[in-house]
Structure 1
Amino acid sequence: MILLGAPGAGKGTLSDWLLERYNIDTIVVGQLLRNEIVKGSRLGLEAERTMRAGGLLADEVVLQVVEPALAAKKDKDWILDGFPRKASQAVLLDKLLAQTGDSLNFVGSLKVPDEVIIDRIADRYIHLASGRTYNLRFNPPKVAGKDDVTGEPLSQRPDDDALVVRKRLEGFHKENDPLLAHYGQNVHTFEGRTSKEIWPGLVDALSSEFPRLPTRTLSKRAGIV
């Protein structure tokens, strides 16, 4: 499955909650790219320049991390977070899945007002090593400034600057309609101002589509039920 939505719409948070509830894997493209940045690879340097400027990476650059990640998850249930972001990438994803014999069974689209996203990102912190995302108001860590799992310090992303966020939102709106049109009636739309508002509808839709999707022991974090 894939979750589509603007930067800061809650894709990472909802993906984390889905992983806690269901026996599925995740592919977080942004985290894969940040790993390359930390390594200082050629791909990472290019990604860092583009992300700091609020731009979208070229399709062939993103494919360098998406293709091996999908291959590693073959025959497993997974959430793809952060790809595709435009119709041309959706076409590439279709081709990749056709080559591996996998299929895309669920497309979720998150609709959150821009002004909410801009305020939310100002309070967003991440655990760099894992990509776990927190928000000081809506989804705070148990201990201020510390990752819930490792206890390591949290930090803000360099592309979470307000001006960069506005530019990223402009780019998102330009590309999103053609992307949704590519998937057509297969798109499930979820609206809300917070991830907690969106969560029940997302779970209901998944339960309806995949009643046999295996679950884990349910998490009590953030009131998830």
Structure 2
Amino acid sequence: MNNVSVFIIDDHKLFVEGLCSLLSDLQGFEIVGFSMNPVDFLEQVDQHTADVYLVDINMPQLSGVQLTGKMKEYNPNIKILALTMYDEYEYVEKMIMAGASGYILKSASIQELTHAIRTVAEGSKFLGSDIQELLFNKVEKSNAELFTRSFANNIEPDATLTKREVEILILISKELTTQQIAEELFISERTVETHRKNIFSKTKAKSVIGLSRYAEKNGYISV
């Protein structure tokens, strides 16, 4: 079995040193470097080649989400595993949307972490056990809320919009501009505009106010 080369990007010195020591002692893994400053790392990204990059989320100057997006712009084939203490859904979603291949908590066992690293290195996706439970509960709760709202308002849940269109619909309802939506979802403004036109066409709405009413009626937002 070939060694998996790992590069760590995290601003917590003690954690980085401990993880480097731990992985270096395990057969099949090689720590090729680490950086505690995401901006400095980006300036020299071409000098740091690894099979898998472990990226923290909360870092100064540049968040893990922003860093992941920029790394994927530099090399779409780069493999990133989010390694963080954040177990909130919004962080999981943002990291995945930015291009991360996996998401695992720092509280995970070394066995789960090494399995995650190998899985991502092989080109597959990975979500830690705690994150899988988080997403399951999120979907379960969302479906229950949508069903309750639909039943209470005597309407059928909408099924005409794609997942991406629903995401953009919600952000439009929050009064975000095209530029802000593009930055939030890590897509181009042109793509946002295309989705926006499709949303207006499908919902028959004539204005942003109309879209907001549609989103509320179908249970996508609450006021």
Scaled by the length of structure 1, the TM-score of the pair is 0.26
Where relative contact order (Cα < 8 A, 6+ residues apart) is larger, the structure is 1
Of the two, which has the highest radius of gyration?
A: 2
